[in-house]
Chain A
């Protein structure tokens, strides 16, 4: 076995180790927090090292490295197990490994004393396994498997505090809703494998680039696969699971929202970018859906009072933004860089924002940022600074990372012939800045009397309250914040190197000053608007949207999407199909069988009247019949 590629070995090792960490903890050490932590963190560190080593060793790679072995070889369906190591996957590999390592570190503090500590780390290992497997997998089917595992681990982690009804409900919702999208993905895969023959990402992309796909195959397959992306990346109309997903522990939300679960969708879009861009129809659909998502989630974010919910909606809107960037690039023949770059930067600052929120929540035992503010949230210095950095990045302010990536996406939108998309993108940027700084200003300028503006957000409980009185932030929680804040600050200036790494060359555009000014203007306008509403001395602490109560209510009700799905589930699935089928089973199928049984018994009763027990009568009939038959037989002779 001397000829095994070391990279293959390394990648496999990281997956196997993560899996065995999960298995070990679940089977043996789940009752022992310290041991579980040691196992999980060791594995995570090894994965981190492998990821960075692979990244560094392969950074000068010209051609994508494809390593694969057979996994399951049926007749027409062949699933290889392998890795496609190209710049995109390498970058993502590093990001995932880093963020999951940071979150494991952070969770030491956050989850300390929780009764399910060991289980928590087992699930984190599973999450790492599935996400690492996802980003480097060479075939779509392997990707789909990891994709489902990501869904599984997010289900387990969102519903981690299973005693709480809302948590278990949210976990179920996340799994089922994303599964709803995955059906499309699966159908797309089936369609593709039956008509194209292979699900190898590289060959699909090469075939797409050489226009080997007929349109009848391309567009349906692309749209079906996009269904899966919609589910995972929480795009309209199946975004409803993501806001609820914050029922899990906050580090999980950070993981989910930054580098793993939701990123998986956009990552897949990036991965199959050449394939998708061959179908303008599909790209237009994607663009439309992402734009709707962007606006929808930004407007809901404006009225949410739960800090995690605001960040959740901001995630959805940023994902929509990435999708827009990719779709626009696809339509104009551009590059995948902008969207993917935003995915990268977003991973950093969104993890940062969630971890900061986690510190606040951990400290104040509430999710409502109005209450945090009243209790003196701004006195927590490190998280306050870092959350502001994250917010600035999210709003797209120079020199933070978000600025650069948003500029890149807006540039792609600029290239579209229809400028409506650009306008909507700018509107999204404005709203993003507004709701982000609504949170920041509320935290910075507390007004104790205003508590109660919240809508009864429940306290996140379940973890130990041992260090209730302990002031300050434990270092295991602070270090990840600082690291991530550092990333957020520097990542923007690495645009050119990253672009070179991803695309192999740097595409210099002449700076588009109109776009620059309008984008920055929108961001600053949003911040200004937030300042007027929430920050300034005489601000009313009322969103400008309150002037139109109907619209505000519409936003507070989350565009009635939750209501719609709830209605759909209760009335159509449970009420219509399930009830009808059950009734049919009981009455028609079972009833039919019982009717046959009773009919048999009844006819037996009926016929039993013939049994008079007069033996001679029976015998007489017998004799008569026998004689008759005998004579009949003899007649012919």
Chain B
């Protein structure tokens, strides 16, 4: 048992750092990509990073392990909703601007 606990996939920190990397990669994508769809993809990465965290805490810390799963499911639902909205916005933006380049959507410039 003792050795099993020492295994890398049996440690909370592994998952946390993993989620963190995913988060940082997603954040990089959000900040750097010009294509709106790519930004959306990056946001999905960030959401997944959060899900992983929840699941990890659920696995290692939480008193009732069902709760984290429930919340992850919620996150998925929200992500689905978000994706639907975002995609429709992307389509609308494309129709208006003939482009999905985020740097061209500058109508709010002061």
User: Contact between A619 and B108 (Cβ–Cβ < 8 Å)?
Assistant: no
Neighbouring A residues of B109 by C-beta, 8 Å: 611-613
B39 to chain A, nearest CB (A): 8
Any chain A CB within 8 A of the CB of B67?
A: no
Name the A residues within 8 Å of B31 (CB-CB): 616, 619-620, 623
At the interface, yes or no: B105 with Cβ under 8 Å from chain A? yes
Contact with B along A592-636 (1 / 0, CB 8 A): 000000000000000111111111100110010000000000000
Q: B92 contacts the other chain (Cβ, under 8 Å)?
A: no
A613:B105 contact, CB within 8 angstroms: yes
A610 and B30 contact, CB distance less than 8 A:
no
Say yes or no: A614 contacts B110, CB within 8 Å. Answer: no
- A-contact bits for B86-110, CB 8 A (1 contact / 0 none): 0000000000000000110111111
* Binary per-residue interface labels of chain B (39-61) against chain A in the complex, 1 for a CB within 8 Å, 0 otherwise: 00000000000000000000000
- Cβ-neighbour of A612 out of B27, B30, B102, B106 (below 8 A): B106
- For A614, the chain B residues whose CB sits under 8 A away are 103, 106
Please give, as numbers and ranges, the residues of chain B lying within 8 Å of A607 by CB-CB distance: 110
Q: Report whether B110 and A609 are in contact in the complex, using a CB–CB cutoff of 8 Å.
A: yes
Bound complex: CA of A70 vs CA of B31, how far in Å? Answer: 84
The residue on A at minimum CB distance from B110 is A608
Is A616 a contact partner of B102 (Cβ separation < 8 A)?
Answer: yes
- Taking CB atoms, residues of chain A closer than 8 Å to B30 are 616, 619
When distances are taken between beta carbons in the complex, the residues of chain A under 8 Å from B107 are 613
List residues of chain B with CB within 8 A of the CB of A615.
102, 105
What is the distance, in angstroms, from A614's C-beta to the closest C-beta of chain B? 6
Are A610 and B110 interface neighbours, CB within 8 A?
yes
> In this complex, what residue of A is CB-closest to B27?
A623
A611 touches B108 (CB 8 A): yes
Contact of B110 among A611, A616, A619 (CB under 8 A): A611
CA of A612 to CA of B110, assembled, Å:
7
Residues of A within 8 A of B102 (CB): 615-616
A613, B27: Cα distance in complex, Å = 19
Q: How far is the CB of A588 from chain B (nearest CB, A)?
A: 33
On chain A, the residues within 8 Å of B105 by CB distance are 613, 615
A392 shortest CB reach to chain B, Å:
94
| Closest chain A CB from B12 CB (angstroms) | 19
Residue of B27, B103, B109, B110 most packed against chain A (CB within 10 A): B110
Q: How far does the alpha carbon of A623 sit from the alpha carbon of B23 in the complex, in Å?
A: 13
A580 smallest CB distance to B (angstroms) = 42
Q: Smallest Cβ distance from B34 to chain A, in angstroms? A: 8
CB-CB < 8 A to A619: which residues of B? 30-31
Q: What chain B residues lie within 8 Å of A613 (beta carbons)?
A: 105-110
Closest-by-CB residue of A relative to B108 is A613
In chain B, what residue has the closest Cβ to A606? B110
- Chain A, residue nearest B33 (CB): A616
Q: How far is the CB of B33 from chain A (nearest CB, A)?
A: 8
**Residue picked from A608, A610, A613, most chain B C-beta under 10 Å:** A613
In the assembled complex, the Cα of A623 lies from the Cα of B110 at a distance in Å of 22
CA distance A623 to B32 in the complex (A): 13
> Once bound together, how far apart are the Cα atoms of A612 and B102, in whole Å?
12
Instruction: State A43–B30 Cα separation when bound (angstroms).
Output: 96
Q: Closest CB-CB distance, B51 to chain A, in whole Å?
A: 21
- Closest CB in chain A relative to B60 CB, distance in Å: 22
Q: Which residues of B contact A610 (CB under 8 A)?
A: 110
**Chain A residues in 8 Å Cβ range of B106:** 612-614
How many angstroms from the CA of A613 to the CA of B97 in the assembled complex?
15
Q: How far is the CB of B97 from chain A (nearest CB, A)?
A: 13
Q: Mark A213-233, 1 if CB is under 8 A from B, else 0.
A: 000000000000000000000
B110 CB contacts on chain A under 8 angstroms:
607-613
Q: Which residue of A lies closest to B32 (CB)?
A: A616
Tell me, in angstroms, the Cα distance from A619 to B109 when the chains sit together. 15
Task: Please report the C-alpha to C-alpha distance between residue A609 and residue B110 in the assembled complex, in whole angstroms.
Answer: 6
A611, B110: Cα distance in complex, Å: 5
A623 to B30, CA, bound (A): 11
Q: Nearest chain A CB to B109's CB is how many angstroms away?
A: 4
Q: How far in angstroms is the closest Cβ of chain B from A157?
A: 69
B103 and chain A: residue at smallest CB distance: A614
* A620 CA to B102 CA, complexed, in Å: 14
- Kindly provide the distance from the CB of B50 to the nearest chain A CB, expressed in whole angstroms: 16
B32 surroundings in chain A (CB, below 8 A)? 616
How far is the CB of A607 from the nearest CB of chain B, in Å? 8
CA distance A260 to B31 in the complex (A): 93
Determine the chain B residues whose CB is within 8 A of the CB of A609 once the complex forms: 110
CB of A414, distance to nearest CB on chain B (Å): 94
| Residues on B with beta carbons closer than 8 Å to the beta carbon of A612 | 106, 109-110
**When chains A and B are docked, how far (Å) is the Cα of A613 from the Cα of B30?**
15
B23 to chain A, nearest CB (A): 11
Nearest-Cβ distance from residue B103 to partner chain A, whole angstroms: 6
Q: For the complex, what is the distance from the CA of A614 to the CA of B107, rounded to whole Å?
A: 10
Q: When each residue 302-313 of chain A gets 1 if its CB lies under 8 Å from chain B and 0 otherwise, what string results?
A: 000000000000
| Closest-CB distance, A173 to chain B (whole angstroms) | 62
Neighbouring A residues of B27 by C-beta, 8 Å? 623
Q: Name the CB-closest residue of B to A604.
A: B110
Cα A142 to Cα B108 with chains together (Å):
72
Chain A residue nearest in CB terms to B109: A613
Shortest beta-carbon distance, A242 to chain B, in Å? Answer: 71
9 additional A-B pairs beyond A607-B110, A616-B103, A620-B31, beta carbons within 8 Å, are A610-B110, A613-B106, A614-B103, A615-B102, A615-B105, A616-B102, A619-B30, A619-B31, A623-B31
Q: Which 8 A-B pairs have the closest CB atoms?
A: A608-B110, A611-B110, A613-B106, A613-B109, A613-B108, A620-B31, A616-B31, A612-B109
Interface, chain B (partner A; CB < 8 A) = 27, 30-32, 102-103, 105-110
Can you show 27 pairs from A to B with CB atoms below 8 A apart? Answer: A607-B110, A608-B110, A609-B110, A610-B110, A611-B108, A611-B109, A611-B110, A612-B106, A612-B109, A612-B110, A613-B105, A613-B106, A613-B107, A613-B108, A613-B109, A614-B103, A615-B102, A615-B105, A616-B30, A616-B31, A616-B32, A616-B103, A619-B30, A619-B31, A620-B31, A623-B27, A623-B31
